[in-house]
């Protein structure tokens, strides 16, 4: 049986070419607006394009993103790309959350092109998400693709569903982490990762 996530992915592929504009017009009307007034005439089409872009990660094949960017190299120290900016949509309210992701891994026999790590983050951020799953998705994908000794991912984000509604706390943030392999089993590896993430040098 397919997982819920696999089912959602299959449904998104099937409906990817369908316009959401009629449904957006209906929502505008139910909100008490006039979808026919000048300022809203093109809004349904804009919303359709925006939502399809913001959820475009469903249709991305990770293998095509990597495009052979795995390299055999004798390097066994930590590789870290930090402050990877992202935007995503909360699956509970369809409101944005945004922030940055720090990704590190310990190579075993090969490394991945540095630009591919932000691309992997984007694939999973451009889906309906929760921060905890986004963090885990990125870590597990790198573990499966690169097969390193371990992976560490930290995600820092602010959520509009907390800032604009509900508790309305504009300055609160959330942090999540996923530690796999050596990052979970070895305290010194985890501590090095955290120290590098928190380090701020001039111009970097």
Whether pLDDT at 3 is above 60: no
Closest CA to 15 of 44, 45, 50, 55: 55
Confidence of residue 15 (pLDDT cuts 50, 70, 90): low
pLDDT of residue 8: 39
Active site residues: 90-93, 131, 159, 161
Res. 149: pLDDT tops 90:
yes
Give dist(CA 12, CA 52) in Å, integer.
10
Q: What is the pLDDT of residues 151-176, one digit of tens each?
A: 999 999 998 787 877 766 766 788 99
The pLDDT value recorded for residue 11 is 39
Helix residue ranges per DSSP H, the chain: 4-15, 21-30, 43-54, 62-66, 116-125, 131-146, 160-163, 182-185, 187-198
Mean pLDDT of the chain: 88
Question: What are the tens digits of pLDDT across the range 34-92?
Answer: 999 999 999 999 999 999 999 999 999 988 888 889 999 888 899 999 999 999 999 99
Q: Domains along the chain?
A: 4-54 (1.10.286), 66-198 (3.30.1130.10)
Q: How far apart are the first and last CA of the chain?
A: 47
| Band of residue 201 on the pLDDT scale cut at 50, 70, 90 | low
Distance CA 141, CA 119 (A): 12
């Amino acid at each position: 049986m397919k997982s819920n996530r696999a089912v959602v992915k299959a449904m998104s592929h099937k409906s990817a070419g369908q316009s959401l504009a009629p449904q957006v017009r209906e929502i505008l009307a139910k909100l008490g607006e006039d979808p026919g007034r000048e300022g809203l005439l093109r809004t349904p089409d804009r919303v359709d394009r925006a939502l399809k872009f913001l959820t475009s990660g469903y249709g991305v094949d990770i293998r095509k993103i990597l495009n052979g960017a795995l390299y055999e190299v004798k390097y066994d120290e930590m590789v870290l790309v930090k402050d990877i900016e992202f935007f995503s949509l909360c699956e509970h309210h369809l409101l944005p959350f945004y922030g940055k992701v720090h990704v590190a891994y310990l190579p075993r026999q090969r490394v991945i092109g540095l630009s591919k790590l932000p691309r992997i983050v984007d694939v999973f951020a451009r889906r309906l998400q929760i921060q905890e799953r986004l963090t885990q998705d990125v870590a597990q994908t790198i573990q499966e693709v690169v097969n390193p000794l371990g992976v560490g991912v930290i995600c820092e984000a602010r959520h509009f569903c907390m800032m604009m509604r509900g508790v309305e706390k504009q300055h609160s943030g959330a942090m999540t982490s996923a530690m796999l392999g050596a990052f979970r089993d070895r305290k010194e590896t985890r501590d090095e990762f955290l120290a590098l993430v928190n380090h701020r040098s001039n111009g970097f």
